[in-house]
Structure 1
Amino acid sequence: MSNLLKILLPLSLSILSVSAQAETVGEALKNCGQVQNSLKRLVCYDKIVNELNRYGGLQDLMDVPAPLSAKDKTDSEDENEADKNKRNSEFGLQPKLPEDTDEKIYATVVEVKEDGLKRAIFILNNGHHWRELEATNFKVKVGDVIYVESGALGSFHLSKDSLNRRIRVKRVK
């Protein structure tokens, strides 16, 4: 019990002195903020809250600006909302390619190599190197005119105009 009194007596005296010196709520809060002991600081804040009507300057703290109406919003806020709505509506869709990019390119096969897994690597006259992703018996000879087209989910397909088949390929170089 005596330990409790040793703590509470100085605490109550410091609270009273801080409360008596402060004229406004802001000053009282500032004084409580300077108290080092966290328990004493908490008690000081509680005391201020319980005696709010005693302090002056309370009305300044209570003035809250009115919320903005829909007419008061600025154009930049409207643009931000429009950008956000556009991004949300395009989420998960395949990214749109610029209009000047080709979805299909034609080229002539200059060389056909095989990798270690017996998959063909096609070297084209435009410098592209394309590797077949599945080992199939899709025959392409040197000098054939082929096309590479983009597919779904970023995949690419190689084919000839004379065939009704295509193979998945990946650009190596």
Structure 2
Amino acid sequence: MRLGWLFAALLCLSNQANASIEQTLLECRGLTQDSQRLACYDQLAKRFQSSTATTTIAPVVAAKPAVKAPVPTPPVSAPVTKTAQAAKSQPTAEQQVEDFGIRYKEIEDEVTKIYLDVVKVKKDPRGLLKITFSNGQLWKQAEAKRFKLKAGDKAFIEKASLGSFLLGTDKRNATIRVKRLK
């Protein structure tokens, strides 16, 4: 019961303090000279800062029982690639000034296009192709475009934008977007 009365009293005091701050804020806004207005706002900020500092209550945290820490596993070193080495080397300020505004691409030693032999072509219930290649990979057509492909054809898969892949043949000038399943 006492706690309820104490809480109600604090609530009333905080409402009065907020009303006082709002009133002072309006008075500061009414001042015409810039220096006086700034001084008024500074005094208001100091008063607000001191009132919030005294009313801040630190949260009580209960002590948790000690838990045995897991045993860390030794780190496994991965082979360093050329792109990782390039990312580690930071260009100098002089080099950054020289290269500013120049758009260039780094040459990567990464495979961007592969040729595979088609072993089997099936259509799913939606009419999209499921293509099995000689190396065991299974790819599925990702867009509803008409594309003729049969077993025994030599097809290529190349990287496209935003991490997607395109499938096509050298006989045709068309490609379809595909997604790897297996």
Q: TM-score, normalised by structure 1?
A: 0.44
**Bigger proportion of residues as helix:** 1
Q: TM-score, normalised by structure 2?
A: 0.42
